[in-house]
A and B are shown apart, each in its own frame.
Chain A
Amino acid sequence: MISANLRFEGFDAASWTKIISLFAPGVVERIESEPASSDAPEQATPVGIEAPRGTLVVVVDDDDNVLRATNTLTGRVTGIPATPIAAVPDIARLYGASQVVWFRRGTMEELAERLAMRLRPGDDYGAQWLVLARVMRELGEARLLRLWPNSFAGVPIPSMPMLSRALDVVLPDGHAAVAVLWQRGEPWTSVAVRRMGGEIDWIAGPDLISRWTGPLGGDWRRDHRVIAAAVARNMAPVHVGLFSEEHIVRDLLRTPDAGRWARAAAVRDIAFYPTPAYVGVALGADVVRSATRQAASFLGGLKLFESIAPIAAELRSRVTDVASVSAALGFNPLEALGRFLRGEDRSSLPASTLPAPEESGADNGENGQ
C-alpha cells in the first residue's frame, strides 16, 4: 500500500502541521502546549481540571497497583490508588486527562515480541500496521491493555486484501488524488497522492502543487479545475479531488451526521472534482438518508421514505456496483474517523450495533483496541 520508495516532498512545517491537525489534533495540542515549568514536572493530584488534557499513561502490576503514572502534558502523577481496568474512565476524570493508556507491566514487551513474530519480510507498511492493530486488540482482549477513549472498539480490522480492494476504489492504480483547503480565500494547505504499481509512491505538498499550477485566481470554486489539471499533468490522472474551506472540512470530519457531506456538496461548500463513482454514490446515498431523517423529524415521525424509495433503491444498487469503500472494509472509515476525532468511546457498546464484516479474515473484536 505504501511504497518502499515513497517520495515525500513539497511541504513546509506549517503546511504539514495543518494536515496533521486535521487527523491527529492531539499531536498538535502537544506541540502547542505550554512548556513544562520544570525539568521534572509533576501534576498536583487529584486535580479538578475543567478541560481535561494530555494522555495519562498508567502502568499497573498484577494486583492493579500503580507502578507509574504520568501525564504527557503535565508530568509525573503520584498517589493514584490501585486502578483496575474498569476504573480507567474514572481515573481519567479524576486526574483531568483527556485520554488514558493503561497497561500491565510487561505488556509493551509482549507487544514487541508478538509484532516481531508476525511480521513477514514482504509486508508493506499498511500490512505491518494491520498486524500491529491485531496485536493491540489481542492485548486488549486479554485485559493487559486499554486505551480510553477507544473509538475503534468493535471496528473490524480488515485483512490486507480487503484494504487493497478499498484502496482500489478510492484511488485506482496509476491515478492521483488531490485535496486543497483554503482559509479566508487563501490556500491553507494541500496534498496530492499518487498510486503507482499498486502502492502509494508519491506524496506532494503545497510547494510542489503551487509550482505546477502557477498563480491562481483566488476562488477555489473556479481554481479547483486548474489544480486538478496541473496535478494530472505532473503526477497522474486525477481520480478524485477535494476542494473546500478548512473549517468546513474540519467540521465535516467530526460530524456524526454523514448526510452533512452531501449537503455541503449540494450547496457547494465543498467540491469533489473529478467525482468518481464511489463519491457520487456516497453523496447520493447520504442525501437520501439525510432527507429522510429530516423529513421524519419535521412531520412528527411520518415516514416519507416510501415516496423516495425508488431513488434510494437505485442508489443502493449502484453502491453494490461500485463496491463501496465501506463494503470493502467492513466498516465506514469516515464514520470511524469522526468518532475518533470526537473522542467517543465505543468500548461499552454492544457488538450488534456495529457493522458486521463482510469477509472472513476480518477481526471484529469488542473489547480490544
Chain B
Amino acid sequence: MELPSPTAYSKRRPKAPVLKGRVLDLGADEIPLYSGALHYWRIERRFWRRTLEAVRNLGLDTVETYIPWGVHEQADGTFDFGERHERLDVGAFLELVSELGMYAIVRPGPHINAELTYFGLPERVVHDPECQARSPRRNPVIQPFPPRMFPAPSYASRKYHEEVGRWFDAVGQVVGPHLWPRGAVVLTQVDNEGTFFFRNGPYDQDYHRDAIDRFRAFLEERYGTVAALNEAYRRVYSSFGDVPPPERFDAHEANELVPHLDWAAFHEHLIGDALARMRQRLHDAGVREVPTIHNIPLGETGLPVSIPSIARVVDLVGLDYYHPAREHRVVKRRTAYLAGTFDFAYSPELGVGAPPWFTPLSHHDSLTVAMTAAAYGLRGFNLYMAVDRDRWYGAPIDARGELRTEASAWRRWVQAMRRVRFHTLDRRAEVALVVPNEYRRLSRATHLFGGIASPSSVEAIGGTPVEGCSEEPLGFKGPVQILWWKAIARISDALTRAQIPYVFVDSDASKDRFEDFKVVFSPTFEFVDPTRWARLRDLRASGAHVVVGPAVPTLDERMLPFDAGTGHGFDVALFDTDADAQFKVEDWIVRFGIGRPYAAAPSLVETAGHEDEHGLRMLFVMNPTRDAINASVTLPHGCRFEDVITGQEFLAEHHLEIRMLPQSIRALEVIRSPEAASNTGAPIAPPAAEHAAKPTAAPAVEPEPADESAPTADAAKPEAAPRRAPERPRRATKRKRSPAQRSRRASTPARAPKPKRTTLGKASKASKPSKPTKPTKRTGARTKKGKRK
C-alpha cells in the first residue's frame, strides 16, 4: 500500500471537494475517509511535523483537529492564532499538513468537548446568563464533567449564536485560505455531539425564552391553526403564544401524551435548527466549498435528535464509538443502524484510547471495536485520538511523534482497509428492522432518571435506551415506551441466533433506505405515526414482507382516531416471548429464502462477509463470548485468507476452522488466485510450508497470541506462500515528491521488505456466490444509479 505522499498543489484541479457516495471527490483524487486526530495546540510545535508524519505512517492521509474557541480566545476578548503562543498558529499547522501532502478535517465547534474545561468554550460565554440553557425553574443547566461543572449554553439563545458568529468570523479568516483546493482542508464539522451538552433529559431544558419562542413557532408550523392544536391537546388555547412547554411528565392516559410527544419532537427540531444556523454562519464567515459533517455521541437511541434530519443539515453524519470489547452487541447494533439508515456509515470519532473520566478502554478494546464496526458496515472513520495528548490515554502515537507498540496493529488495519478498498465493499442484508421514532420519543418523555442520568447517558454506559422508562401503561395495554424496544430486541436476538444479517433503519430515513429488503419488521402498538404506516404500506406494495405488531394501531400520534386501512397485507405478529421471535424468524427463512451467508458453528460465533463484484473480499469472524471457541465457518467455495492483523494465512475448502479467543475478532482478507477463487472444482494450491515458517512479526499488542490462534487439527492449513505487496491505492494522478521528502520517506522506519506478491487474479465469474432471486440490500452500498464505485 502506498502511504500518502506530498502532492504538488499546482497540479490540483480547482474543484471544491464533494462527498460522492463513500468517498471525497477532490477532482484529481477520490479519497476514502480514513483519518486520525491530532490536537495541534496540545503538541509542542517542534513536534508537529513528526507527529503528522507518524499519522501518515499509520496509513492515514488525513488529519483531523478541533479548533478550540476557548483556547484561542484570550482574556481580553481577542483571538490568538499564533501571534502570542506559537502552538496556537493553526494556519501554520494547516500549511504544514499541506506541505506533507496530507488532507485536513477541521472542527471549529463551537462546542468541541475534547475534554477541555467548559468543553472548549470561553468561560465568559458559559457564564453569560443570556447564553445559558434554562431548566423548568429557569435555573442554569449544569454540565457535570470535570474539571469544572459549568452551565450548558442554550442552542436557542440568540446571544449564544451571536457569540458563535463572532468566533466563526475569526475562524473563517484563518481557515478560509486553507480550504481545498488552495489548502489542505477538505471537510469541516459543525458543532460537536449536538445533544444539549449531555444534559438531555426530557424535561431538563430548554426553557430559555428564545427556546420557548421557537417551541411555539414549531407548534404553529406543526398544527397550522390553534384549533388543530386544541383538538390534539384537549385544551382551549387562544393562541400559540399561550401554550406552555411541558415541565414534567404528568400524563396518565393516552390522550394526555400529545404535548409531551411534541416537546420531545421539538428537542429534535431545536438541535437540527441550531446546526443549520451554525452551518450557515460558518458559510457566511468564508468556510464554504467544503462538505460538512456532524458526530453523534453514544446513546443515540435515547438522544433528542433525529439523526436522518441532521443528515439533511450537514453532508455527512456519523456515530462516535467508545466501547469496551465486551459491548460487542452494542457496537453491532449501532453500526447496523448506521449502515441501514445511510449509504455511507462513518465514524467521526472511532475511539483509540479514552479520556480518564470514561469507561477505561484498552488497546484490545479499541481495535476490537474498530474491527467489529467494520464487520457490520462502517466504511469510513477518524481514529480519535491518533496522537496522544493531555487528558487522554491509549493513542498509538505519543505526543513527540513516536509510534507506540500498538501502532503496528493499527497500521496493518488501515493498510488492509485501503488494500481491499473496504469503502467499496458490500455486506448483504435481507431483513430490516425499522426504529419507530414516535415510540422513541415516548420513551424519552417517560424517562424517570432525570437529566444527569439522561436516556442517552444510561444507554452510553451500557444500559438500554428504555432503561429508565416508567412502567405505567398510560392507557394502553402495556408500557409501549418499553415494549417497542423489547420487540425489536427479541427479533434482533433471534436473527443473530439464526445468523441472518440484518440492519436497523430509522423511520425518518430517506425512502431509498427501505427498499430492496425481503422482510421488514416494525413494531406497532395502539398508536402510530401515519407517515411510518404509509411507508410500510408502500413497502408491502412493492413486494416486501412487512411484519408489524403486536397491535394494529387505531390512533395517530395526536391520539386521534386512525384508520389503518383494510387489506394492508401486513403480517401482524405477537412477540410476547423469545420463542415467538424465534418462530417468526424461522418462518422467514423457510418462506422467503432468507440466506445465512458464511454460517458458523457454534452458533454463538458471528460472521460478516464483505463482497465486491467478484465475490467475497473480507470475512470477519467474531467470538463475542467470554470463552475460547474453535469456530467453523461455511464458505461458498474454497478460499485463501490472510488475517490482516496477525498475518496468519489460512487455506479452506468449504469450511474454515479457526481458533477464536474470548471476545475477539478476526478480519480475514481473501487472497485471490485463479485457482483458489475458482468455484469450478479446481484444486486449491497446497500449502507450501507450515505456519511456523511465517515471516511476519506478530503485532505487539493484539487479541490473539500466536500459539492460541494457531488452527486446530482440522483447521484450514496455514500457508507460507509469498505475501503480497501492499496494493497501491488508485490515484488519478501520480504525485511527485521533492528530494527532501524522498529523504524523509527513506528515513522512516519501515517493516521488513516482503516477497513480491504472486500472481493473484480476480475470481472468475463462476466463482461468485449465488445471488438471491430478489435484489437484496447491500448495507449502505449503492449509488443512485445502482453502481458501486
Contacts and interface: CB of A to CB of B under 8 A. Distances in A.
A51 B420 CA distance: 49
Contacts of A115: 142, 149
Task: Pick from B151, B329, B449 the residue with the most CB of A within 10 Å.
Answer: B449
Interface string A71-89: 0100110100000000000
A35 interface: yes
Contacts of B359: 31
Nearest to A66: B471
A334 B448 CA distance: 35
Contacts of A108: 201, 448-453
Interface stretch (A121-129, A229-237, A256-264): A121-129
Contact of B393 (A16, A31, A107): A16
B140 A116 contact: yes
A2 B149 CA distance: 12
A111 B451 CA distance: 10
Nearest to A104: B448
Contacts of A107: 450
Nearest to B449: A108
Interface in B566-615: 578
A328 B135 CA distance: 37
Interface in A24-63: 30-36, 38-41, 57, 59
A13 B149 contact: no
Contact of A116 (B117, B141, B462, B466): B141
Contact of B485 (A13, A33, A40): A40
B329 A12 contact: no
Interface stretch (A3-11, A162-170, A318-326): A3-11
Nearest to A121: B127
B472 A39 contact: no
A11 B471 CA distance: 43
B203 A109 contact: yes
A98 interface: no
B486 interface: yes
A205 B360 CA distance: 14
A13 B451 contact: no
Contact of B142 (A10, A13, A40, A116): A116
Interface in B176-228: 201, 203-204
A115 B489 CA distance: 37
Given A39-B333, A40-B464, A59-B448, 6 more contacts: A12-B362, A12-B394, A38-B493, A112-B451, A115-B142, A125-B148
Contact of A8 (B149, B356, B624): B356
16 contacts: A9-B393, A13-B354, A16-B393, A36-B329, A38-B490, A39-B488, A40-B485, A59-B470, A68-B471, A108-B453, A109-B203, A112-B452, A115-B142, A116-B139, A116-B140, A116-B141
Contacts of B624: 35
Nearest to A80: B471
A119 to B, nearest CB: 6
Contact of A13 (B365, B466, B472, B626): B365
B329 A35 contact: yes
Q: Shortest 7 CB-CB distances between A and B: which pairs?
A: A108-B450, A39-B489, A40-B489, A116-B139, A13-B362, A17-B360, A6-B147
B358 to A, nearest CB: 10
B327 interface: yes
Nearest to B487: A40
B463 interface: yes
B306 interface: no
Contacts of B466: 40
A6 B493 CA distance: 44
B468 interface: yes
B146 interface: yes
B538 to A, nearest CB: 28
Contacts of B137: 113
B492 interface: yes
Nearest to A20: B360
A70 interface: yes
A212 to B, nearest CB: 15
B450 A39 contact: no
Contacts of B486: 40
Given A4-B148, A34-B626, A119-B149, A106 B360 contact: no
Report the interface size class on chain B: 35 or more
Contacts of A117: 139
A105 interface: yes
A14 interface: yes
Nearest to A131: B149
B449 A57 contact: yes
B452 A8 contact: no
B271 to A, nearest CB: 20
Interface in B44-89: none
A30 B461 CA distance: 10
B462 to A, nearest CB: 7
B326 interface: yes
A5 B115 CA distance: 11
Nearest to A41: B464
Interface of B: 117, 127, 135-137, 139-142, 146-149, 151, 201, 203-204, 248, 324, 326-329, 333, 353-354, 356, 359-363, 365, 388-394, 448-453, 461-464, 466-472, 482, 485-486, 488-490, 492-493, 578, 624, 626
Interface string A228-259: 00000000000000000000000000000000
A309 interface: no
A115 B140 CA distance: 9
A67 interface: yes
A35 B622 CA distance: 15
Contacts of A5: 117
A4 B71 CA distance: 12
Contacts of A2: 146-147
Given A35-B328, A70-B468, A76-B482, A205 B393 contact: yes
A38 B489 contact: yes
B463 A109 contact: no
B448 A39 contact: no
A250 B462 CA distance: 27
A36 B493 CA distance: 12
Contacts of B482: 76
B146 A40 contact: no
A8 B363 contact: no
A247 B326 CA distance: 26
A30 B462 contact: yes
Task: Pick from A39, A66, A119, A128 the residue with the most CB of B within 10 Å.
Answer: A39
B142 A8 contact: no
Contact of A113 (B135, B485, B489): B135
B394 A13 contact: yes
A67 B450 contact: no
Given A16-B356, A119-B149, A112 B328 contact: no
A112 B204 contact: yes
Given A39-B493, A68-B468, A59 B449 contact: yes
Nearest to A39: B489
B272 to A, nearest CB: 25
Contacts of A12: 353, 362-363, 393-394
A112 B450 contact: yes
Given A11-B393, A76-B482, A124 B135 contact: no
A111 B139 CA distance: 12
Given A12-B393, A13-B353, A128 B333 contact: no
A13 B127 CA distance: 34
A39 B469 CA distance: 15
A72 B453 CA distance: 13
Contacts of A111: 450, 452
Contact of B390 (A3, A8, A17, A36): A8
Nearest to B472: A67
Contacts of B449: 57, 59, 108
A67 B147 contact: no
A124 B127 CA distance: 14
A32 B327 CA distance: 11
A56 to B, nearest CB: 12
Contacts of B394: 12-13
A13 B468 CA distance: 29
